[in-house]
């Protein structure tokens, strides 16, 4: 069943997707609304099973509440790429040989890149990552381009960060989908990338950076 939320809830959900658990104060500051308005939205989303509340007990003072997406909320706020789902399960579902399967995954990535390749207008890796982020935004998926300074580089390293998985159910059933995503971004960016952080390993988001 599809999730139905009010338009006013979208910004709140996106904040929790990007930042994880937040308190009332964090949400009111970020959304520029009153605490009463935030509580109304939180209560509505908790009743739908989209958001959960946890109590944080400080060493001193009164306990406070923090809010985050439930498993149901995480799944339902992500969008599945129908074309990828169809291609994946047609090609991969019954394959057992790892080498054969790896070849099929590579072909799927190339097919997907062919669908979106004309959107890659950037002149460098960071600009092409922004092209990918814009493409994902059209599908209501929060992807952002971050820049990380490293000791071995003069310029910051661009990182494509995904705060929601396009296909969470497939990823949990078969991590090969992560390989498809990495291959897809390699094709689109024209640069070999690695998955430096992954939600399936407990990270708050997935990060792709130049290898």
What pLDDT shows up at residue 5?
44
DSSP 8-class letter at 156: P
pLDDT in tens, 42-90: 999 999 888 999 987 776 777 889 999 987 787 666 655 556 665 666 6
What are the chain's domains? 7-76 (1.10.10.10), 82-210 (no CATH)
Average pLDDT over residues 184-208: 91
What is the distance between the alpha carbons of residues 72 and 209, in angstroms, rounded to a whole number? 29
Q: Which two tokens stand for residue 32?
A: 């520029």
Own/partner pairs for 100-106, CB < 8 Å, 24+ apart? Answer: 101/176, 102/179, 105/176, 105/179, 105/180, 105/183, 106/183
Q: Provide the whole-model pTM.
A: 0.60
pLDDT in tens, 124-174: 999 999 999 998 888 778 999 998 877 776 778 899 999 988 877 777 777
């Amino acid at each position: 069943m599809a999730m139905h939320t009010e338009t006013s809830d979208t910004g709140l959900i996106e904040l929790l997707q990007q930042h994880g658990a937040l308190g009332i104060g964090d949400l009111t500051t970020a959304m520029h609304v009153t605490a009463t308005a935030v509580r109304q939205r939180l209560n509505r989303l908790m009743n739908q099973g989209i958001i959960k509340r946890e109590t944080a007990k400080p060493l001193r003072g009164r306990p406070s509440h923090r809010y985050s997406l439930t498993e149901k909320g995480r799944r339902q706020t992500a969008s599945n790429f129908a074309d990828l789902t169809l291609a994946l399960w047609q090609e991969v579902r019954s394959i057992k040989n790892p080498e054969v399967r790896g070849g099929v995954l590579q072909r799927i990535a190339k097919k997907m890149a062919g669908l979106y390749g004309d959107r890659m207008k950037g002149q460098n890796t960071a600009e092409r990552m922004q092209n990918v982020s814009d493409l994902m935004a059209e599908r209501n998926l929060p992807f952002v381009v971050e820049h990380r300074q490293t000791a071995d580089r003069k310029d910051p390293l661009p990182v494509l960060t995904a705060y929601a998985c396009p296909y969470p159910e497939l990823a949990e059933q078969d991590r090969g989908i992560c390989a498809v995503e990495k291959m897809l971004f390699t094709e689109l960016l024209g640069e070999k990338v690695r998955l430096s952080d992954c939600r399936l390993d407990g990270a708050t988001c997935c990060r792709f950076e130049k290898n």
